[in-house]
Amino acid sequence: MKSINKLQQKWGVGPVQFWLIMTTFALGGSLSGYLNKQILNLVFLEKNAAYWLIYPLLLTILWPFSVIFVSFLTGQFSFFKGYLGRMWGRLSGGSSTVDSSMGSNMESNMRYSSTGNQTGSSSPIHVAIFASGAGSNAKKIIEYFENKSTSIKISLIVCNVPGAGVLDIAKSKGIPTLMINKSEFASTGYVESLHNADIHFIVLAGFLWKVPEVLVNAYPRGIVNIHPALLPNYGGKGMYGSRVHEAVVAAGEKETGITIHWVDAHYDEGDIIFQASCSIAPSDTPNMVADKIHVLEHQHFAPTIEKILMK
């Protein structure tokens, strides 16, 4: 049971998907074995030395095709596409980072430079949104790209809070979700799960956990965050949501705004990409400031993401 739990955490999947994956492995192996025997029986009249020499070679060739075929039937094609791509990367001598080791991310590497810029492919750019709450920003981003004729696709919602509103949004839009736990996120960053989902770019939209260094290293210049203040002011650990607006009002600020920035291994310290500001009236409460910030977030976040990815 412990080994099963470890595999579930490593792959970032729940019990149902885990057993679908294991079923795909089993059925794919059986199918490749069956096809192997049928082909060899057509070629050889008897099981001689040549038969047994070719048997494992042909089986090795047939196995990935068989597994991919079965994965369509079990609904696990996305997982096995990444899994087999990673196997191929290792066999061909690639490293284990997002830019070179995996088949799916080898595609990504051809599309992007180290700054995340697109290099001309028309293949989809798969984006994951990380969110912890109601998901109003996530919803606006999803709807923005639903109505745009670009190659950008919101392909995964990652959440750390069971029952969060963003999960309902994902369900209504037919977008797969990945639930994560803090210890596994801190240790692995769920990098393998993101690779298996063919994710090329990450957007933090109200995600409250610190991004671990392992994930930052896997997606250099590939993770952006939005902060509800004009950084470097009112940023850092513990400064999020209403806490930021309360601090801004308490300080008597006349202006606040939003900051969209690259994510590094520290809270709110990545390079700034875009800022927009709004005024604060003396009578404004933290809730009123929050409403103004939401307007700016909904207005600017998705277009800024588009500009980054479509350069």
13 SS3 class = coil
8 A C-beta contact, residue 255 and residue 280: yes
**Residue 112: both structure tokens together:** 């992007």
Count Cβ atoms below 10 Å from residue 161 Cβ, excluding itself: 15
User: CA angle, corner 196, sides to 173 and 21, nearest 5?
Assistant: 90
Place of tokens 């739990």: 5
Inter-residue long-range contacts of 236-244, CB under 8 Å, 24+ positions, other chains counted: 236/267, 236/268, 237/210, 237/267, 239/267, 239/268, 240/208, 241/206, 241/290, 242/286, 242/290
Active site annotation includes 227: yes
Of the candidates 195, 200, 227, 245, the residue annotated as catalytic is 227
Helix (H, G, I), strand (E, B) or coil at 228: coil
> What are the catalytic residues?
227
